[in-house]
Amino acid sequence: MSSNLSAQWEKLVRPGILTLFYREYPLMELHDDACQRIQEFLYKILRFLLRQYPHRAELEQWLYINYPEAQYALNRSSRKRIFSIDQLQTLVHKEFGTHNEMDISYLATTLEHCTKDVLKLAHDYVNRLGKNEIVANDIDLVMNADTIFVEILRSDLNSTTNNSSSNSNIDTSIATMSYNELIRHFIITETQYKDDLELLIKFFRNPIRNFFNDDLQV
């Protein structure tokens, strides 16, 4: 992404990201690097949608399958949008070619719901760790733990390296993971294991101590 395009994209999506985040999670902090990572990811989503679903009917089907609640948002024509339709239309027209107004409306709604999804996943993940701030690494972890986002990231990587067609199936098994994906997988698995172990210890520690009259050290 060129510096000029990057500045335009940041102007379009950054205010919306921050608005969504602090409206939903006012007690948590979103670091600048995390916001930047979301901005980059949203641009990959935009490229993915325009490449894989160039027609409205295809995009509509994908959106309803992955975000069924989006239909209600699309039907509310008077609602205030997080991302500007006009700015998005100008950018899409300039970078990707002409798309009609309805396509832009669906694109804006899709970007908004993907943003909400990323923020919720990151919030829940960080909250479980007992932290109150989200950094770029947290965004990377949750994006690589979500099947929809993994598909988008893998498709973007394949498109960049020209190693596969747009219709290739996404295989997220450990056997086919890249080194970086494998590391992220182990980190997420280890974190989940530690969280579960802590819950088990908290639940059983006192009953075990009482049963053995405090002779057993856990």
142-199, pLDDT tens digit by residue?
Answer: 888 887 888 887 776 666 555 444 444 444 455 555 666 666 666 776 766 676 677 6
Q: Which residues contact 27 (CB under 8 A, 6 or more apart)?
A: 132
User: How many Å is the Cα radius of gyration of the chain?
Assistant: 21
Block residue for tokens 């992955």: 66
Q: Please answer whether residues 208 and 197 qualify as being in contact, where contact means their C-beta atoms are separated by less than 8 angstroms.
A: no
Type of residue numbered 8: Q
- Segment (H or E) for 5: helix 3-24
Whole-prediction pTM: 0.67
Spatial distance between the Cα atoms of 84 and 70, rounded to a whole number of angstroms: 17
pLDDT of res. 216 = 47
CA–CA gap between residue 76 and residue 32 (Å, rounded) = 32
* More confident of the two residues 34 and 213: 34
Write down the domain spans for the chain: 3-137
Query: 191: buried, middle or exposed (CB in 10 Å: 19+, 13-18, 0-12)?
Result: middle
Q: Look at the domain 3-137 and name its fold.
A: Histone, subunit A (1.10.20)
Compute the half-sphere exposure of residue 82: CA atoms within 13 Å on the CB side of its CA: 23
- Which pLDDT tens digit goes with each residue over 65-79? 887 776 666 666 556
Per residue in 204-216, pLDDT (tens digit) is 666 666 666 655 4
Q: Which tokens in the block code for residue 78?
A: 């008077």
Judge contact between 50 and 92, C-beta under 8 A.
Answer: yes
- Answer for the pair 71, 81: CB distance below 8 angstroms, yes or no: no
Most trustworthy range by pLDDT among 55-64, 125-134, 182-191 = 125-134
Across the chain, which distance is largest between two alpha carbons, in Å? 75
Give the DSSP H/E element, type plus range, for residue 134: strand 133-134
